[in-house]
Amino acid sequence: MEMITNVTEYEAIAKAKLPKMVYDYYASGAEDQWTLKENRNAFARILFRPRILVDVSSIDLTATILGFKVSMPIMIAPTAMQKMAHPEGEFATARAASAADTIMTLSSWATSSVEEVASTGPGIRFFQLYVFKDRNVVAQLVRRAERAGFKAIALTVDTPILGRREADIKNRFTLPAHLVLKNFEGLDLGKLDKTSDSGLASYVAGQIDRSLNWKDIKWLQTITSLPILVKGVLTAEDTRIALKAGASGIIVSNHGARQLDYVPATITALEEVVIAAEGRIPVFLDGGVRRGTDVFKALALGAAGVFIGRPVLFSLAADGEAGVRKVLQMLRDEFELTMALTGCRSLKEIRRDHVITEWDRPRITPKL
């Protein structure tokens, strides 16, 4: 493990350690997996315009997220069923996030409950919410998260039905018998059982509310005072509606390329959303972040911060809490290095003109 020098190297270790069904569940995307590859490839097409001879002897990475001060604008995205990766699952992730002084988002479909994660100790945590057909279950869950000290709700809005993940269909994906979706333990919500295709797809079809719409953000605001982040926005049109609906923030996300294939990479969609948000609410990004350079590119295009998903799962599988800590530290170090080499001493100095994208107009060099 001491030889690992970047985040991506954890994936091969995780693949070797995990059962095929589990690795495939974490790693795969929808259908042709075009968007899965594009989430990474799109970052590689954005280039830097570094500024030189700036005094970078002191660099401040701290960020303020929904009023909470964190050590860096790199946070943990919600990923389901982490005890499939490691026996300590979400406990290890929560401790690693707290040690790094950053935010963890807990999935509705966690294998540890909101109360259990809160019991790991102090830390700023958000709760990712799927809206079930039984709204009493939703209200109960949100109130439990609030009581357990969670600071925001990340409402997933891109999953009225589960995307077609062919690896899960082939593997007849189901939750291993010794694990449960802890937030729903004791509730009569059916089981994630083996079926003729993906057990998760069948579960979602039976439980998740396909009628979810913009009015439900107002309904959520009647049951909680927590800020609501709308997770899964990719267009300016939906950004404007989210503003009207009273969202406290937006997460530009394509669900790790696991829902609709052939949507743009999140880094490609980001600027459209940022422009439409007009600075009124913060815009975050998840999807494809594997390097500190990716973090910088997202911030240069207007993101207030990024969330990482698969790097957490793979490092958790490889080395438990220590793995997640190392991923957060490596990304922090790379991001700090990128800031130094582009001439930025704080997040507010990261500007749009530090990057050049394929949709920028060609720069015309004046004749001398």
- Known binding positions: 25, 78-80, 107, 128, 130, 156, 165, 231, 253, 255, 258, 286-290, 309-310
Sequence ranges of the binding site for glyoxylate: 25, 165, 255
**CA 345 to CA 347: how far, in whole Å?**
7
Is residue 236 helix, strand or coil? helix
H-helix or E-strand containing 202? Answer: helix 199-207
Given 86, 178, 255, 354, which residue is catalytic? 255
The pairing of strands 305-308 and 74-76 is parallel
The closest of 269, 198, 246 to 42, measured between CA atoms, is: 269
Neighbour-count burial of 278, counting CB atoms closer than 10 A to its CB (0-12 exposed, 13-18 middle, 19+ buried)? exposed
- Radius of gyration of the CA atoms of the chain, in A: 20
Is residue 82 helix, strand or coil? helix
Sequence ranges of the binding site for FMN: 78-80, 107, 128, 130, 156, 231, 253, 258, 286-290, 309-310
Q: What angle is formed at CA 227 by the lines to CA 160 and CA 142, rounded to 5 degrees?
A: 60
**CA 166 to CA 310: how far, in whole Å?**
18
H-helix or E-strand containing 90? Answer: helix 89-99
Catalytic site residue 255? yes
Residue 174 contacts residue 193 (beta carbons within 8 Å):
yes
The closest of 222, 202, 60 to 138, measured between CA atoms, is: 222
| Residue at 12: amino acid letter | A
The pairing of strands 47-48 and 355-356 is antiparallel
3-state SS of 238-268 is: HHHHHHHHCCCEEEECCHHHCCCCCCCCHHH
DSSP 261-327: TTPPPHHHHHHHHHHHHTTSS-EEEESS--SHHHHHHHHHTT-SEEEE-HHHHHHHHHHHHHHHHHH
Active site residues: 255
